[in-house]
Amino acid sequence: MMTTAKICGLSTPATLDAAIRHGASHVGFVFFPASPRHVTFAKAAELAARVPGHVAKVGVFVDPEDEMLEQAVESAALDVLQLHKVTPARAAAIRAKFGIETWVAVAVRTRGDLDAAYGFAGIADRILYDAKTPDSAALPGGMGLRFDWDLLDGFKHPLPWALSGGLDPANVAEAIRRTGAALIDVSSGVESAPGTKDETKIAAFLKAVATR
């Protein structure tokens, strides 16, 4: 089975181009001002114009208001909405309003955390399993944290899913072999500093995904 990869938190033309050139299936733009990866609507529009049709544009949001979603969808012509910290009811309302493929992040630290995915069956198009950040953290992801992949053993996924959290060029092949993930999501693992993507690391990560 082929595994594809999303490079998330892109904010410059050079790193976006690198992600596309080396085979990313999805590119992610973060619309969350507290994040070092946040992009303005104008910057998102500039970047989105560089993305070819075969690569999906993902907007990443944390408990967003409709106004932010509207502006982001319009500016970046988004193909996917990735939602963090939303309830099933809110996710359903967003998907109904915008009619765009919708992913919901489920934060994982224990086996019991996975059960939250069942609440989004029939609502979301995909679940993104990400490492749960500390309660005091300002960000819901992008901190390089990894959860125990063994927690996924035998879990009956209610929806198509993606793996995120603490992935990098050195461990992504193992992650795919261990979990069978069909889609991999990376942000901090291909950075030289928080919010600063590294073209060499992007290339190495995507090569590891393709050749694992």
DSSP notation for 161-200: EEE-SS--TTTHHHHHHHH--SEEEESGGGEEETTEE-HH
Classify residue 128 by its DSSP letter. Answer: E
**168 given a catalytic annotation:** no
- Give me the catalytic one of 17, 125, 130, 153: 130
Report the chain's C-alpha Rg in angstroms.
16
Residue of 80, 133, 134 whose CA lies nearest to 103? 80
Q: Which of 8, 79, 168, 185 is catalytic?
A: 8
Q: Are 45 and 204 in contact (CB under 8 A)?
A: no
Tell me if residue 8 is catalytic. Answer: yes
Distances 145 to 53, 54, 189, 207 between C-alpha atoms, Å: 32, 30, 10, 22
The residues annotated as belonging to the active site are 8, 130
